[in-house]
Amino acid sequence: MMMALAAMRELPAVLVPGGVTLPPTTGEDAGKIQTIGVRFAHGEISLQDAADMGCRACATAGGGCQFLGTAATSQVIGEALGMSLTHTALAPSGQNIWSDMGLRSARAVVNLAAKGLTMNDIVTPEAIRNAMVVHAAFGGSTNLLLHIPAIAHAAGLRRPTVDDWTEINQRVPRLVDVLPNGPVGHTTVRVFLAGGVPEVMLHLRELGCLNEDVLTATGETLGSNLDWWENSERRARVRQTLEDKDNVDPDEVILSPNAAKVAGLTSTVTFPRGNLAPEGSVIKSTAIDPSVVDADGVYRMTGPARVFVRESEAIQTLKGQGERNIQPGDIIVLCCRGPQGTGMEEVYQLTAALKHLSFGKTIALITDARFSGVSTGACIGHVGPEALAGGPIGKVLDGDIIQIEVDTLQLEGSINLVGHGSEHFGAEAGEQVLVARAPRPDLAPDEALPDDTRLWAALQSVCGGTWGGCVYDVDAILNALK
């Protein structure tokens, strides 16, 4: 939707977010509940528990997730871009405050038209950067690393690169304590009641991280919107509601920079490179289990590769079915799941299982697929180039020794082939080993991959691939055809 609106460059438009569903009064949130299958397979919950919790996971119909997954993060980004009205992202779906924003959004479109303001005036390079800053402060879904470049492309703007993401995430602190990130992990509706996007932006403004001169869907500048929000009756009312209904201090959901530092909130994502990811990869480093991170803030793991080319095979093995097995200390390598393999599926069944299985935190995952926004743990995705584009991830063999280092404080990291079996030869020699190896013979796209998806995958790879937002750049395609 944001891509479509951004492409309507000469027309006024306002994005109306769908809000979020409310959590159950008892039971598990909608993220954890999706792991009942693998937990049942390992005897960690009963069939009756699985059935009961599954029926209770969502207290209301409609809206995005109770956690800051891709749907909820997209709402946050829409407002941060200036495409939505102030304090509309993450509203409780179906409630009066949610319905009211529809009416106000319609009036806002009329106001934009009267002022002669269009999408060209709102979606600007400065707005794109603001959205990336807010993404870092929220600890949002890694899928937006694909979507924001695609939105920029639709608006005719330069697409941000992995270096841009790295620079912003090294500068901007995470300020929101929301599922799936801790330490408490509040629900998304609590973030809305704590003040939502404009509340986070007040802190970012104090840090000098935002461009306040950008125009927004209100027809006013971001700075003007924040001035209103800071002293508004609406802000006071929703924050008081959170205290009255849930007995939660709003400032413990959306923290000041100093409070976030004391609470141990680390920045959102790290972009490891190395001989297995020469173009880059991404890990939500803030969501690695703290118990496997060393005292200096670095996650270190060296272990044998267990290679799969289908997610279903990896899931069955993780459930303990079949001839193969996965042990604590193993590193799952899942390839052929990128654009050319599957259209770039999300592999949440794996990442969720690793989070909620009792031994999952001792296993890492490396893949050329993408993740659900609720994914956490030592899970490295978006590995580029993907296996079917000649990426070295498609040359990894069972028994290869892989070394992972992720500095959750400095936001630096690496993933390297460093040995095989009992032989250790280091990262530099590992690069030469990968160059000399042929791709695995079992690499192949899914048999049922539709022709239109195969064509899309081929075209987007010419236009910058995963890290370019998986878009069609017509000029790049025509140049390649020449």
The catalytic residues are 372
Torsion angles phi and psi, residue 281, rounded to 5 = -160, 175
Pairing of strands 379-384, 280-283: antiparallel
Closest CA to 258 of 173, 146, 182, 188: 173
What sign does the dihedral 49-59-180-185 (CA atoms) show? negative
The torsion defined by the Cα of 140, 142, 148 and 150, in degrees rounded to 10, comes to: -160
User: Within 10 A of 183 (CB to CB), how many other CB atoms are there?
Assistant: 9
Closest CA to 298 of 403, 206, 440, 174: 403
In the three-class reduction of DSSP (H, G, I as helix; E, B as strand; rest coil), residue 453 is classed as helix
Residue 392 to residue 400: CA distance in whole angstroms: 13
Pairing of strands 400-407, 412-420: antiparallel
At 300, which amino acid appears? R
Chain-centre distance for alpha carbon 30: 16
Q: Which tokens go with 372?
A: 């659900």
Burial of 432 (0-12, 13-18, 19+ CB in 10 A): exposed
Residue 333 to residue 343: CA distance in whole angstroms: 18
Residue 272 to residue 366: CA distance in whole angstroms: 11
- Cα→Cα distances 358→289, 338, 354, Å: 12, 29, 8
